[in-house]
Amino acid sequence: MKLTYIGTAAAEAVPALFCECSFCENARKRGGKELRRRSGAIVNNDLLIDFSPDTYTGTLSLGIRLNEVKYVIITHSHSDHFCPHELEFRRAPAFCILPDDRAPLKVYGNRNIEAGIRQALGDDLALHGIDFTYVPPYVPFKAGDYTVTPLSVIHCLPEDAYIYLIEKDGKRLLYGNDTGVFPEKTFDYLKGIKLDIVSLDCTMGFRDCETGHMGFSANLKVKNRLEENGCVKDDTVFISHHFSHNSLREPDGDWTYERFSEKVKPYGFIMSYDGLVIEK
């Protein structure tokens, strides 16, 4: 299983669109891993996680072909994760040329995602080459050879936001943003499931936060619970992901990629960056 991070920032990106704070100004100068697109990822080359406003430019810069994507799973309806108007451009032949036998793009999500897609594209989703399926929490579903389970988290109530357990060929990825520390029902569901890759929200950096988003201390709390629940193997990879410039800017110095990575390495975490690839 290969996980590629297309974007690793929170809603305003890094540097933030209109921001003149010290971190954003320095990120513009440093470039490289300090530049972060809005959050999204892809598993192998065919299962996309979220569809942010930066999906097109991100996949283009990384050499990922969107025409090869077969499945899209959406975590929640915030605009940095869900940009349904972009799906209009899968309509053939008006906006793209595809083989006549190309299957519709399968999109999965909660009821808010369904409403958003229909508001953007209308009720005839087939006209745009889209097939949407509502997926309820804690019920596994098949997306080709993948088994995917939406798990409820608290992020944007009353919407039922999801994180996803993704399984294929004996490998398991837990993609866990945007969320605070998981609710007990989600920890209970995961109990005993051995995970190969765990990607956790770290929007708040080293600030204490356990609700809505997480800081690194909450990442550690989730990791400890997963260890207690028998979910962690000797080679499980933990990644802190989804960063805001507001939490990377501190009076005693910016949390650059290098500095943040050094801080979290002793705890068994790595910091995500745009283009990071994890293979298991």
State the Cα–Cα distance between residues 255 and 218, nearest whole angstrom: 17
Strand pairing partners for 76? none
Average pLDDT (228-255) is 94
Task: Give per-residue pLDDT as tens, 105-152.
Answer: 999 999 999 999 999 999 999 999 999 999 999 999 999 999 999 999
Per the CB < 8 A criterion, the answer to whether 7 and 36 are in contact is yes
Tokens of 113: 């995602």
Report whether pLDDT(17) > 90. yes
What pLDDT is recorded for position 160? 95
- Domain boundaries defined on the chain: 2-279
State the Cα–Cα distance between residues 265 and 132, nearest whole angstrom: 40
Tokens of 171: 């490998």
Average per-residue pLDDT for the chain: 96
Closest CA to 106 of 71, 145, 65, 141: 71
Tokens of 154: 């608290």
Report whether pLDDT(44) > 90. yes
pTM of the model: 0.96
- Class for the domain spanning 2-279: alpha beta
Report whether pLDDT(57) > 90. yes
Per the CB < 8 A criterion, the answer to whether 163 and 177 are in contact is yes
* pLDDT grade for 169, boundaries at 50, 70 and 90: very high
> In this structure, what is the dihedral angle of CA atoms 181, 183, 187, 190, given to the nearest 10 degrees?
-100
Average pLDDT (157-180) is 96
Report whether pLDDT(49) > 90. yes
Per the CB < 8 A criterion, the answer to whether 165 and 148 are in contact is yes
Residue type, 186: T
Q: Residue 138: is it exposed, middle or buried by C-beta count within 10 angstroms (0-12/13-18/19+)? A: middle
Residue type, 238: F
Instruction: Quote the percentage of the chain above a pLDDT of 70.
Output: 100
State the Cα–Cα distance between residues 151 and 88, nearest whole angstrom: 28
Per the CB < 8 A criterion, the answer to whether 154 and 179 are in contact is yes
Per the CB < 8 A criterion, the answer to whether 260 and 8 are in contact is no
State the Cα–Cα distance between residues 270 and 44, nearest whole angstrom: 20
State the Cα–Cα distance between residues 201 and 181, nearest whole angstrom: 9
Task: Give per-residue pLDDT as tens, 244-269.
Answer: 999 999 878 899 999 999 999 999 99
Task: Give per-residue pLDDT as tens, 176-199.
Answer: 989 999 999 999 999 999 999 999
Tokens of 195: 């995970």
What pLDDT is recorded for position 251? 79
What pLDDT is recorded for position 13? 97
Please state whether beta strands 40-43 and 232-241 pair in parallel, antiparallel, or not at all (unpaired). unpaired
